[in-house]
Amino acid sequence: MATWRSLAILPIPRSTCAPSVPPIEILALLVTGKSLSAVNAQENTALIGAIASLGLSGSSGYGQGITERVTSKLGLESLSIGGGDTLQDSALGLGKYLSPDLLMRYKVGLFDRQSVLGIEYTLNEHLKLKVESGISQSVEFSYTIEKD
């Protein structure tokens, strides 16, 4: 038997199952009807969407969703769940402008706890510098021209 519960104040789902099954496995069964190991790429996207709507962006019908409430409370500009090639690559992302030209981002894996710290600095209206550090490090310059 599997049950899914959520707190009314903070809609963070909790799952239980007898015999004991990891919460992500329960969610995979509820969303796709399959075990996590049998989920394909399209179903992986549906699982990520379910995690996002149940845990972060779902509004309980009483105003703002949890994403808006958390970003407002913490003074963040962004809070998101993003997927990777597999469900295990999914990450929670946070973003905060330290100045109008300097954005700091932090991502942490939902299942593997690997993290990435990134900074994006706008040098002028066309040129941006992006730096990331985590498992690997990267530096990127991007030049953008917008045309109508």
Q: Which two tokens stand for residue 16?
A: 């239980």
Of the candidates 105, 89, 108, the one whose C-alpha atom is nearest the C-alpha of residue 97 is 105
Q: Residue 4's pLDDT is what?
A: 46
The span from the CA of 143 to the CA of 112, in Å, is 33
CA distances from 21 to 26, 29, 50, 88, 127 (A): 7, 11, 18, 16, 49
Query: Beta strand 13-17 with 115-122: parallel, antiparallel or unpaired?
Result: unpaired
Q: Which helix (H) or strand (E) holds 109?
A: strand 102-109
Burial class (CB in 10 A: 0-12, 13-18, 19+), 44: buried
Q: Is the pTM of this model over 0.75?
A: no
Q: Residue 70's pLDDT is what?
A: 66
Q: Residue 10's pLDDT is what?
A: 42
CA distances from 25 to 34, 35, 89, 96, 134 (A): 9, 6, 15, 33, 28
Q: Residue 81's pLDDT is what?
A: 75
Instruction: Walk along the chain (148 residues) and give the pLDDT tens digit of each residue.
Output: 444 444 444 444 555 566 677 766 777 777 778 877 777 767 776 666 666 665 554 444 444 556 676 677 778 888 877 776 776 777 888 899 999 999 999 988 877 778 899 999 999 989 999 999 988 899 999 999 888 7
